[in-house]
A and B are shown apart, each in its own frame.
Chain A
Amino acid sequence: MKDKIQSHFFWKHANGAFSLFDKPVEIIYSKIVSNIKYSYIFFLFLIFTQLSNKNYVLHESMLDPLWPMLLFKNISPVSIALFCQISLIVGFILLTRYYNNRFLKGFVFIIYFLYLAFLNSFGKINHGHHLALMILFCFMLMPGNKVANYKEKTILLFASAQFFLLFSYSLTGFWKLFWGIVEFFTKDVSLFSPLSFRNILIEQFQLTNPPLLGVWFLEHYYIGYIFYCAVVVIELFAVFAFFKSNLHKIWGVLLIGMHLGIHLVLNVNMYPAIMAIGLLLLMSPFQKSSTKRLY
């Protein structure tokens, strides 16, 4: 595997110290297959969390249909929701058995895409499920067992999914820093002031009741600002962690810790993002095991 990507302008950067491809192809591939099988159970869980969400289905029509929903805007939301949920539940259950069936993978990706478009056609686009959709997209492109070099291709696509995940966090950090610099010169309060953390809390708490930790940080915003700066650093450098296999689990823990903090302080949940981090980083197939097996 190392030889095949050594000269590639992108992948050669993942081939230095703590290379992603140190382990034999067979071992990486078998771990990826195991991750994929687990993932469909997690996806099934995600769909089950949506079953009790009756808000959307009680409407006569979608308020602001997104472009994939324009064809279906005259169909009642309850019919769309039921069709998508039943299709996804059946699809994910079948995929746990036939995990490499390309038709099933394509079908599930398209229905999940339409389902997200539907859920986001009521005014606000929620980005919680975008990373989960990205994972399904990469899984869909993974080749079947009869294609030449299918193991190497599967490994590259799994690594690409890891890159997209970490890149999206780096973008979040980049925009915070970018607007922080712009606002440093144009506004009174920017990222470089402890009031920035406090102001984000104030704005957020106009809408939701502050959790206990949120109220505490509102009073002690200087302490919260230290955590806020740490979050910006974790986000900004996330993409660099991709190129070193020994950083995958560390960054996975940091990002999940960040989401836990956001949940406790701001009361904002992103369960699908945590699922994506768990599958791609915490269970990274590229990281060498720290304990040696005695067999």
Chain B
Amino acid sequence: MKLHKNFVVFWTIIYLVIAIVGRFTTSNKEIFPFFRWSLYSKTPNNLAFPFIMVTKVNDSILENPTNILELNSVHHLSLVDMNLNVKDFYKDVLNCKANNEAYKGDFFKILPDNSDFELFKKTLDMTKVDYKSTEEVLKILSVKNNTTINFER
């Protein structure tokens, strides 16, 4: 009976400790399935939204550049998963750029070989009431045949 009475307190402490340790020690910021429940906790002030426009899949050239989020039939990832992969790719690319290295991550596994795409970043200043007038779109890089990265200078 003592164990069952104390379980609620002990498990809450264990859960919180692992959730906080996971926040600071892992790339996912959590050790599954321990989560600190910080959903929608921060207020976005500036939006930096990376997105990818695909121009060629394998050997097929697309009629119009298409957002990778819409190519579910090619990559078979849900919208949210794909968006997170794009965000991670964007972060990795920035790190590579800072260190003057070529990108060698897993993102190229998502599309078939010989695919071409371009990475863009959309920014918005959301501290303004008229945020739409602050929109800017910047091209970050192009990828040819899923291997070569040409940084835009």
A191 to B45, CA, bound (A): 11
A280 to B19, CA, bound (A): 23
Contact of B45 among A59, A149, A176, A189 (CB under 8 A): A189
- Indicate whether B24 reaches chain A with its CB closer than 8 angstroms: no
Q: A63-B85, A149-B1 are in contact. Are A172 and B127 (CB under 8 A)?
A: no
- A176 near B41 with CB under 8 A, answer yes
Contact of B37 among A58, A157, A168 (CB under 8 A): A168
| Chain A at the B interface: SS class | helix
Contact of A207 among B36, B38, B69 (CB under 8 A): B69
Q: A122-B77, A123-B88, A207-B79 are in contact. Are A113 and B5 (CB under 8 A)?
A: no
Contact of B131 among A9, A66, A159, A202 (CB under 8 A): A202
- A203 near B28 with CB under 8 A, answer no
Contacts between chains A and B (CB distance < 8 A), count: 151
- Indicate whether A196 reaches chain B with its CB closer than 8 angstroms: yes
- B44 near A125 with CB under 8 A, answer no
- B4 near A157 with CB under 8 A, answer yes
- A4 near B1 with CB under 8 A, answer yes
- A202 near B5 with CB under 8 A, answer no
- B28 near A125 with CB under 8 A, answer yes
CB distance from A82 to the nearest CB of B (A): 16
Binary contact track A97-125/B, C-beta < 8 Å → 1, others 0? 00000000000000001001100101111
CB closest chain-A residue, reference B40? A200
* Stretch of A180-188, A248-256, A286-294 that contacts chain B: A180-188
A123 to B44, CA, bound (A): 22
A58 to B112, CA, bound (A): 13
- Indicate whether A79 reaches chain B with its CB closer than 8 angstroms: no
CB under 8 Å from chain B, chain A span 120-147: 120, 122-127, 130, 133, 141
Q: A125-B30, A190-B43 are in contact. Are A207 and B126 (CB under 8 A)?
A: no
Binary contact track B118-153/A, C-beta < 8 Å → 1, others 0? 000010101101010000000000000000000000
Q: A130-B33, A160-B11 are in contact. Are A183 and B42 (CB under 8 A)?
A: yes
Contact of A187 among B45, B77, B80 (CB under 8 A): B45
A176 to B42, CA, bound (A): 7
- A58 near B32 with CB under 8 A, answer no
- A130 near B35 with CB under 8 A, answer yes
- Indicate whether A11 reaches chain B with its CB closer than 8 angstroms: yes
CB under 8 Å from chain A, chain B span 94-116: 106, 109-110
- Indicate whether B25 reaches chain A with its CB closer than 8 angstroms: no
- Indicate whether A206 reaches chain B with its CB closer than 8 angstroms: yes
CB distance from A232 to the nearest CB of B (A): 10
- B44 near A156 with CB under 8 A, answer no
- A59 near B76 with CB under 8 A, answer yes
Q: A195-B127, A202-B124 are in contact. Are A172 and B41 (CB under 8 A)?
A: yes
Contact of A123 among B8, B32, B49, B82 (CB under 8 A): B82
Q: Select the residue from B79, B81, B84, B109 with max chain A CB neighbours within 10 A.
A: B81
A58 to B75, CA, bound (A): 9
- Indicate whether B78 reaches chain A with its CB closer than 8 angstroms: yes
Please name all residues of chain B whose beta carbon is closer than 8 Å to the beta carbon of A56 when the two chains form the complex: 76
- A202 near B33 with CB under 8 A, answer no
Please name all residues of chain A whose beta carbon is closer than 8 Å to the beta carbon of B12 when the two chains form the complex: 163-164, 167
CB distance from B140 to the nearest CB of A (A): 16
20 A-B pairs with CB atoms under 8 Å apart are A55-B77, A58-B76, A116-B33, A122-B81, A123-B77, A127-B35, A133-B33, A157-B7, A159-B8, A164-B8, A171-B37, A179-B42, A183-B45, A187-B45, A189-B43, A199-B43, A199-B126, A200-B40, A202-B126, A206-B49
CB closest chain-B residue, reference A208? B79
Q: A189-B126, A202-B47 are in contact. Are A207 and B83 (CB under 8 A)?
A: yes
